Amino acid sequence: MPGRLGRPGPHACPLLARRRGAAGAHQRPRAPRRDRTGAHVTRGRAEVAEPFPDTAEIQDGRLRTLGGIAVEELAERFGTPLWLVDRATLEGRMRAYREAFAAQEAVLGATTTVVYAAKALCVRGVLELADDCGLWVDCASGGELATARAAGIDPRRIVLHGNNKSVAELRDAVDAGVGRIVIDSLSELARLEGIAEAAGRVVPCHLRVTPGVDAHTHEFVATGHDDTKFGLTLSLGLAHEGAARLVASRWLDLVGVHCHVGSDILRLDPYHAAADVMVRFLAEVRATHGAEVGELNLGGGLGISAVPGDVPPELPTYAADLTAAVAEAADAHGLTARPHLFVEPGRSIAGPAGVTLYRVGTIKELPGLSTYVAVDGGMSDNPRYPLYQAPHTFAPAGAVARDGTPRPVTVVGKHCETGDVLGEGVSLPSDLAEGDLLAVAATGAYNHAMASNYNRLPRPAMVLVGEGWAVELVRRETVEDLLAREPSLRDARPPVPRP
């Protein structure tokens, strides 16, 4: 069975030729993920480096270096499992976003803001890079807000999200002078108004609207349809009620509207639909409530190439398409001025920059059934396959050649859970051996962010690599770190009664 990255033929290494951005590739939409049962198994016949970061050097199907450093050296120095982040790819994506939208401002007739969605990879150093690249930062909790502040982000360039922000989180955001608070419900609106009044501050707000748009993505990451916990549902009149209350508020300033239709989207049509609905809403707010609301935030959600064949639009195409859709809708719905456009990408910035490096352990052959290749991490460092069968591209890593015929295996982790699977039908050389390194591409987004300590596994280190150097973004957690949070009952005074 053909595999994803698979093992190449003896001389095969046309890898770098098929990078993201290959001419014409961006135009090809894919089927909705939930309709592609098993698609990840049969993709990737070609030995492509497509999902690996820009500096990945791949020879004969093996990941040899990243950021100019041999992967064995990285594994030796920092241990495994290891989250690697390629600086060139990360910064390249951040700058490319900024440039792609800046290039459309003349056509749009309005300014644009790119907000990095920190939830994808919320690490201080990453937020510092986002800031250096001219991006704002979107935070979805008090913890993300504190991280952004620790990274020195100007609070005025922070957007605060969350469907259930606590009073403390709202208060902290108001006190810090966060640039935009995105109101997610009518009850939150009332809460925030009280907090703003008590602080004596007028708070700039976006109203999160649920536009009723199908994003053609996995149901766990779709957010634009009506029946969701996020935002104020347009079709039920909640968005209009929210707008009316905000327009009447002395303490909350309705400066914009927001929507986010979902994540991991590889097609442009959900964005067209969202732009049209949201611009029409802006026109209705003006007509009904007499308010000129000048900002439109269309959220994030652009997908990435996690397996060859998943081809997202190129950023210039996406930016041109989105701004054209907004401009067209503004004309169609009679807006007097084009809105200032915000976008909030997370996965499409951090995802392609990440590679996870594992060490292979037990290889279990079940003749006639399956072969299991177990690695030294698993669902605790990458919960996305167990959660929603996110497809991944695997490659043997390091210099040791393995020439065995490729065969399909199930890559599993080391957790006490049958669902602890990282990939099925993964084509790996039959002579892959215990102790080998195995790399997984495009793991920069929502892996570290959603990692756990299941089975008491300390979370891996995260290392930024580039031009021959490597620096820790996050140090490896230790069992001592975990124990440090847990006082012994034996030390409790007065003694805890024992049953």
Ligand X SMILES: Cc1ncc(COP(=O)(O)O)c(C=O)c1O
- Known binding-site positions for pyridoxal 5'-phosphate: 301, 344-347, 446
Which residue, 348 or 371, has its beta carbon nearer to ligand X? 348
By CB under 6 A, tell whether 162 contacts ligand X. Answer: no
DSSP letter for 265, please. Answer: B
416 is known as an active-site residue:
yes
**Quick one: CA dihedral 145, 151, 152, 156, positive or negative?**
negative
Tokens, residue 90: 């990360």
Which residue, 140 or 470, has its beta carbon nearer to ligand X? 140
DSSP readout, 138-153? EE-SHHHHHHHHHTT-
Smallest distance from ligand X to CB 446, Å: 7
| Window 348 to 387, contacts with ligand X (CB under 6 A) | 348
Smallest distance from ligand X to CB 339, Å: 17
- Contact at 8 Å (CB) between 365 and 371? yes
By CB under 6 A, tell whether 305 contacts ligand X. Answer: no
By CB under 6 A, tell whether 347 contacts ligand X. Answer: yes
- Half-sphere exposure of 88 toward its Cβ, with a 13 Å CA cutoff? 12
By CB under 6 A, tell whether 120 contacts ligand X. Answer: yes
301: left (phi over 0), alpha (psi -120 to 50) or beta: left
Crossing angle for the helix pair 124-132 and 142-150, to the nearest 10 degrees: 60
By CB under 6 A, tell whether 92 contacts ligand X. Answer: no
Tokens, residue 363: 């290889």
- Contact at 8 Å (CB) between 381 and 451? yes
Scanning 55-63, 81-89, 116-124, 241-249 for contacts with ligand X by CB under 6 A, the matching segment is 116-124
Among 345, 396, 398, 423, binds ligand X (CB under 6 A): 345
Q: Are strands 158-160 and 252-258 parallel, antiparallel or unpaired?
A: unpaired
236: left (phi over 0), alpha (psi -120 to 50) or beta: alpha
Spot the catalytic one: 13, 133, 259, 416. 416
- Contact at 8 Å (CB) between 355 and 443? yes
Which residue, 161 or 272, has its beta carbon nearer to ligand X? 161
- Binding residues are 301, 344-347, 384, 388, 417, 446
Which residue, 412 or 441, has its beta carbon nearer to ligand X? 441
Smallest distance from ligand X to CB 135, Å: 12
Scanning 141-149, 300-308, 327-335, 361-369 for contacts with ligand X by CB under 6 A, the matching segment is 300-308
By CB under 6 A, tell whether 260 contacts ligand X. Answer: yes
Residues noted as catalytic: 416
